[in-house]
Structure formats: structure tokens, C-alpha cells
Structure 1
Amino acid sequence: MKMSDVAKIANVSPATVSRVLSNPDLVSKKTRDKVLEVINQVNYQPHSVARQFRTRETKTILAVVPDITSAFFSEVLRGIEHVAIKEGYQVILGDTENNLERESDYVNLLLQKQVDGMVLLTARLEKERLEELSEHFPIVLACEYIDGLNVPTVSIDNISAARKATEHLIQLGHTKIAHICGPMNVILGRDRLRGFRQAMMSNDLDVDPSYIQEGDLTIESSESGYNQMMKLLALETPPTGVFVYNDEMAMGAIKAVKDSGLRVPEDVAIVGFDNLKMSTVIEPHLSSIDQPKYNIGQKAMNLLLQMINKEKINKHSFVMKDNLIIRDSCGGKSESFPHSHESFKKNISV
């Protein structure tokens, strides 16, 4: 069924049918209702490719994530998609698997004009290239960011959030605090480490280099957290508190503590980051920095739509509010804390 067939049945011109579909306010209610009735009767489906040639729009946007297996990004994507669907857009998903070359390949879809705009949930490309692309195509960054980038960005203050998580452990009385950090080639890893260091320094606590273990995003996050926690527990003086880059790594860290015959939080207090739904399933329930994941997705998509519609955006950096959610994994001051490192080491050898 073609548009001309609908026009013939409704006794109107094909141009009128096109206006009903694209600009219904330009058509009288009587004519509009008649055309829509025919469209419903014959189940006419507009040809998306033909429409693209006419309007130079695909009504499709691209969302690029660094790791589709991460539970964190599923909630951000849901926020993106809900706004997109409401506004008549489809979302194509691209998973880079933390591979810079794959990220670059997805960006090429913009150059080929196969999508109207892009939300990047990963920011590993060179700043100069992104800025050049943004001069010609609508692009919004979310979650990850690049310092000084002149492109709309939606994120939390990762430095402040990491400082908050570390200071909570300090307030509980811990002085031997470690950090299982993210990869240093990712800005989130660098900023959360920076926040950790700031909290330690502002409380006159030394940062032992052996207390900083770099996680690996190229393997399962929980496995990486497990491995790095085992390294920390093997130290001559293990930490009593650990701030972990994300919740998935933190869950691996908790398992490592348990497998070593120790307890969380009595022997090792742990705080994660992201506040995934799984945080309330694992035992003990995981204390974590909550990111407004769904709202980040919504805000990013709304900004992208403004850019597609050539509306003015007054600022480029949108910082969302985070919260520290305190649960059982970090514990509080109790009779068993602080404990002696001699007792701690004895437990590890069991």
C-alpha cells in the first residue's frame, strides 16, 4: 500500500496525506480525520527510507556504551529510550566493549548520516575529534566526560562522590584505607582516585601506594574486584576499609574477604559506587554512592533533542546530584572495631 493509494481512497492528493503524517496542524480536522481513517483501515505504514530522503531525518539516535553487560548502563539507557520513544525516535545501541577503535566506528555512523544524533556514554576519543564532530552533528556525553570539552555533558561530580565515600570510612574510625580503582586510561578511574586521595590528605592520613590496586575492565568486573582484594589481603598490614571503583568490583571484593575466612564489615569495611539494584541482594548489603542513572539518561536525551531541533543550550556541563547510601557492608563503630592487625593477619592465615 502506497501513499498514492491512501490518497486515492480518501479522495485527496498525496501531498495532503503527507501533511497529515508530518504536519497535521496544517490540515483541517475533517480532512485529517478522513485520511487517518483510511490509513487505519488499510494499515498503511510510511516508508522510512523515503521519509528520510524528504526530511533529511532518520528519527533514529545512537547510544554508545562501553560495556553492555554492565547493569549500570541498562538504567541510563532506559532513561534515554523512554524520552526518545515519547518524541517519536528510535534508539540504536552500540557496545564498544571498552575498545577505542569500536567507539570510533560507531562515530562514523554520524558521518554517514545514518542517525540524527548520538549520546556517548563513553568518552575515550580525542577531545579535538569530538569537538570537530560536534560542530556538524548533535552529540551529548553522559556518565563519562572530557575536561574542558565544549560539548553538552551530563554526569555527577565523581571527585566529590569518591571523597564522600572515603570520608565515611574515615568517620567510622578507619585509618588503613585502600582503594580498588578503575583503569587510569578512563577519566572516571582517575577522578575517583583523585577524590580518594583528597579525602585521605585532608584527614592527615597517609596513602600507602600498595593500598591502591588498579582494576581491569577488560575482564568481568567482579572477578577484577576479587583479584585486587586478594592482593590487598595478602599485604603484611592489610587495610581495614576499602573504597571500590564500582559495585560490581565491590561484590567481587566482598567474596574475596569471605573466601579468606574474614567478615564484612567486622574485619574489612567496603563501600562501592553506582548503587546497583544488586547492592541490596548481596550479603552484606553494599554501601554505595548512588548515581541518578535513569535521570542522567533522560537529561542526556532531552539535551540531544534540543540540539537536533536547533534550540539553544545555555551551558554545557550538567552535574547531577549523587548520594551516599549507607548499608551493612561498611558497618559502624562496634566492640570489634578497631581491631589489631595481628588478629587480622591471623584470620587471613586460617
Structure 2
Amino acid sequence: MTKKATIYDIAREAGVSTATVTRVVRKDPHVKEATRLKVQQVIDAHAYSPSISAQNLEGGRSRTLAVVLPVISNLYFNRIFDAAWWEAEKNGCSLRLFQTMENQAISPEIVNELIRCRMDGVLFAGSIWSEDRGDLNTALEKLGKYMPVATICPPDVSLDCICIQSDLVNCSRLPVRHLHTLGHRRIAFLGGSMHSKDTSRRGVGFLEQLRMMDLPDDPAYHVDAGYDMESGERAVLRMLSGLDRNRWPTAIVTFNDLVALGVMKQLKKMGLTLPEDMAIIGCDNQFFCAYTDPALTSVDLHPEEMAQSAVRELLLARESSSRSFAMVREATLIVRESCGVHLGFRKL
């Protein structure tokens, strides 16, 4: 079998540089006609077809964006990665994934690998650093010297970069306002970790809305519970076990939809009917919300739109000197059955 010609073979036979071969392949109008014909003749003779990576590297770019997130198995981050992948693909770029694992700071190894691979940009997703954000700002500052940097949701970033955030404070106000219109006065918040900026900001919005509506702010109604279904089961059991029945909340807002699933499972095991005995509102609007029993009301943070915007801004920043951009995406309450909207207003 004849060995496939490389870009170096074509350049050598045509008597030009590899950069000129690349410009001919890309139909660069600035290549002289005589040179183009000479190179094209060699290309045709060898049926040369350049690899995408060869074209990209010859042009000084990898045509690859990096996404750094905690864990791809998390449904929320999976949605971010999928949307970023499709947006990058649409623009002729590929995507490379780096995971820090849950609640771990970015490592110097990841930073150095991003630089070594000559990424065209990097997107950080999620509050993957603790309340001490020194590691994040140091990493962003170093990377910003080599490539455009975008973040989705990490607050308190001191470096100028592409910063796209959910309105995490308002995303906890929405369910409180909605539940109040349905007659609820004792509303609990379960899930997350108070060491997380995401949780603390949502907690701020939740408490502010309670106070604005003159609703009771009972410390027993706030349980630091984690992020998965098992956490939801344990948290609601712990909360209700420590309260007299007449002090039980009539509604629960959870950090995410997985926690809400655990809460719903435990409440049913305890013999409660949902939403008649307890209304539930989750967050993230995951695909399964429409299929739970009852269907789960949830706050949509629009992670897909944020990821698409981040990729678009990274690609724009690659072509310009400006690498600073800020956007806050408003959350939306998706009303289904679990909040009890179909029951109408009740004096609870």
C-alpha cells in the first residue's frame, strides 16, 4: 500500500512552505495564482487530504476549547458540556473535558496541560472551589495570558474574563413567592452545602424573600443536606423528626431536583400525600421532572443557553483583543403539580 502523503511531502515537492500548502487548502485568496496552481497540482497527484489537526496546528491554533467542571456524571454539568460541545461543533471546534472532581480545586497539572495543548479558550463551569477562591483567581490569571477564559456561575472572580452567571439569589426567591401565593407560610429549604458559594447565595435569596413577605424564618427549616437523592431523604427525615407535627413546614424548596426526589420518596414512606400534605419545588428543571409523581415544579437556570453563550464569547475573544464580558441569566420557574398549583389557594 502506498504511504499517504503528508503536508511536509506536498510542501517539499511543490517547493513551498507547509503554511502555503495550508493556505491553498483553505482557498486563501491572497495566494498567488501561479503558486496555487503548482501546489494544487501536487495535492491532486497525491490525492492529499489534510487532517483537521494538521490544518489547525499549522494555523497556530488547536481549534480546541477546554471545559473544566467538577464531574460529568452530574446531570447539570452534563447539560453544560453537551450544549458547549454542540456549539463548538457548529463553529468547527472540538471540545476537551477536564474534571476536578466534586469540591476540589483546580490543580496546577490541569492549568499546565491547558497551556501545553495550546487551547483556543477554556470554560470553567460550576462552583468547584470552596469559599477561598485564591486557587481559582491564580489559575485564571495564569491562563488568561495564553487564552480567553470564560466562567459559568463561579461568583467573586476578581479577574476580567468572560463571566456568565445564573441569578442564584433570585432563583430561590421565585419558589418562595410562588408558594406564598398558594397560601404557604411555613417554607423550608433543604440541600446543598453552606461551604459552597452556590448554596450560600441561594440561601440569601430564600431568607430575603421570607423576610420581605413577613414569613417565619425558623432555623429548623434550613438543613445543609448535600446534593443527591440520599441526601434529600436524610435531610427531610432529620428535619421533621426534630419538630412537633404542628410545626412541620407545609412546603419545601430544595437545592436541586435530585434532592427533591429524595425528599418526595421519604415523605411518601412516611405516609404523606403530595402535594396535599407537603408542596415541593426543586431546581435545575431536569428532564425527569415531568415524569415524577407528582410532576416536579422546578426552577430552570438555563445551563444550555449559558454554555452556548460562553462558547460563542470564547470564539469571539479569540479573534479580538477584548476578553471581558459579563451576563446574568434570569431563572424561570417551571410550574407543575408538586407545588399544588392545581389545588388553588389554601389557608395553611
Q: TM-score of the superposition, structure 2-length normalised?
A: 0.84
C-alpha contact (below 8 Å) 2:10/2:39 kept by paired residues: no
The answer to whether 1:321 aligns with 2:326 is no
The answer to whether 1:26 aligns with 2:30 is yes
C-alpha contact (below 8 Å) 2:182/2:346 kept by paired residues: no
Q: TM-score of the superposition, structure 1-length normalised?
A: 0.84
SS of the residue aligned with 2:333? strand
C-alpha contact (below 8 Å) 1:131/1:150 kept by paired residues: no
Q: In the alignment, residue 156 of structure 1 is paired with which amino acid?
A: S
1:121 maps to 125
Q: State which of 199, 205, 222 in structure 2 corresponds to 1:212.
A: 222
CA distance in 1 between partners of 2:106 and 2:157 (Å): 22
1:214 to partner: Cα distance = 0.9
1:81 maps to 85
CA distance in 1 between partners of 2:235 and 2:106 (Å): 28
Taking a change above 3 Å as real, the CA distance of residues 37 and 273 of structure 1, as seen in their structure-2 partners, is farther
The percent of aligned pairs where both chains have the same amino acid is 26
Taking a change above 3 Å as real, the CA distance of residues 17 and 286 of structure 1, as seen in their structure-2 partners, is same
Taking a change above 3 Å as real, the CA distance of residues 169 and 292 of structure 1, as seen in their structure-2 partners, is same
1:338 to partner: Cα distance = 4.5
Q: Report the count of equivalent residues.
A: 333
C-alpha contact (below 8 Å) 1:266/1:337 kept by paired residues: no
Q: In the alignment, residue 256 of structure 2 is paired with which amino acid?
A: N
1:59 to partner: Cα distance = 1.9
C-alpha contact (below 8 Å) 2:111/2:139 kept by paired residues: no
SS of the residue aligned with 2:341? coil
C-alpha contact (below 8 Å) 1:288/1:325 kept by paired residues: yes
Taking a change above 3 Å as real, the CA distance of residues 185 and 37 of structure 1, as seen in their structure-2 partners, is farther
1:112 maps to 116
SS of the residue aligned with 1:250? helix
Taking a change above 3 Å as real, the CA distance of residues 75 and 223 of structure 1, as seen in their structure-2 partners, is same
Q: State which of 253, 262, 273 in structure 1 corresponds to 2:272.
A: 262
CA distance in 1 between partners of 2:11 and 2:180 (Å): 73
1:108 to partner: Cα distance = 3.0
C-alpha contact (below 8 Å) 1:290/1:325 kept by paired residues: yes
1:98 maps to 102
CA RMSD of aligned residues (A): 3.0
Q: In the alignment, residue 78 of structure 2 is paired with which amino acid?
A: S
Taking a change above 3 Å as real, the CA distance of residues 111 and 17 of structure 1, as seen in their structure-2 partners, is closer
CA distance in 1 between partners of 2:33 and 2:298 (Å): 55
Q: State which of 46, 55, 65 in structure 1 corresponds to 2:51.
A: 46
Of stretches 320-329 and 111-120 in structure 1, the one that deviates more from structure 2 is: 111-120
SS of the residue aligned with 2:188? strand
1:295 to partner: Cα distance = 1.1
